[in-house]
Amino acid sequence: MSELNLVLLGPPGSGKGTQGERLQQDLELPYYATGDILRAAVREGTELGRKAKEYMDRGDLVPDEVIVGVIAERVAGSEAEDGFILDGFPRTTVQAEALDSEVNRLGRALTATIFIDVSDEEVVRRLGGRRTCANGHIFHVEFDPPERAGICDVCGGELVVRDDDKPDVIRNRLERYHAETEPLVAYYDERGLLHRIDGSATPDAVSESIRATLATLRMEEEA
């Protein structure tokens, strides 16, 4: 495929990060996860991190003007010339329109939005058992446990509970998702870009569905 510009869309805990890591390895494309970028900025105490922290702690979205420029810069960078994988962006209609105009400005187009669909009940089960390391590698105590409890299989870092994986914050993140992000399902569907994946299956089965979707897109492009 000439260029692969992908968006991963879905509720918190749907598996965007889990699948994003796998896709990045399969496709060898740059992977930009806004949650990871913002958490790194908070850890490093940068201006971006200072602006984002209070929103993230509450489970609210950070303001559009704080995040749009961060992604526009990466999409326009030379590293992303052959494509990119976005996880967690866009999350509002304003962000989706900003992404469209940046991609258009570059004379390019989005290839597909992969919508990983799971229920609110499943989100709560997943986020309750999630463990992550400082490098953003993701595990689940029951569904995807690390080989040694508390230690990242990939980098050996300590696995911890994310600050925003507390029950009241999870509830707010789900509310924000339904109010502000879910309208993007219709936004991308209207543009013929939406590919819905059943996210309730195992991580391997979800990866297979995404691979099959991308293979179909490749065949359609070649036909």
Q: What is the nearest approach in angstroms of ligand AP5 to the Cβ of residue 206? A: 5
Identify any residues that bridge with 158 across adjacent strands, giving them in sequence order: 151
CB 6 within 8 A of CB 23: yes
Query: What is the 3 state secondary structure string of 92-103?
Result: CHHHHHHHHHHH
CB of 98 to ligand AP5, least distance (A): 10
Q: Among all chains, which residue has been given the structure tokens 């509450």?
A: 58
Is 139 a binding residue for ligand AP5 by CB under 6 A? The answer is yes
Q: Is 137 in the site for ligand AP5 (CB under 6 A)?
A: no
Among 76, 103, 143, 153, binds ligand AP5 (CB under 6 A): 143
**75 membership: H or E segment, kind and range:** helix 64-75
DSSP string for 24-59: HHHH---EEEHHHHHHHHHHHT-HHHHHHHHHHHHT
State the Cα–Cα distance between residues 199 and 185, nearest whole angstrom.
15
Residue 5: beta bridge partners?
84
SS3 166: coil
Q: Which is nearer to ligand AP5, 56 or 80 (CB)?
A: 56
CA distance 121 to 7: 24
Binding of ligand AP5 at residue 207 (CB under 6 A)?
Answer: no
Which one of the spans 55-63, 72-80, 96-104, 182-190 is the region binding ligand AP5 (CB under 6 A)?
A: 55-63
Size of the site for ligand AP5 (CB under 6 A): 35
Decide: helix, strand or coil at residue 117: strand
Segment lying near ligand AP5 (by CB under 6 A), choices 6-14, 153-161, 182-190, 213-221: 6-14
The yes or no reply on residue 136 touching ligand AP5 (CB under 6 A) is: no
Window 94-113: contact mask with ligand AP5 (x via CB under 6 A) = -x------------------
Residue from 7, 88, 113, 195 touching ligand AP5 (CB under 6 A): that is 88
In the complex, the residues that contact ligand AP5 under the rule CB under 6 A are 10, 12-18, 34-35, 38, 55-56, 59-62, 67, 88-89, 91, 95, 126, 129-130, 138-140, 143-144, 164, 173, 202-203, 206
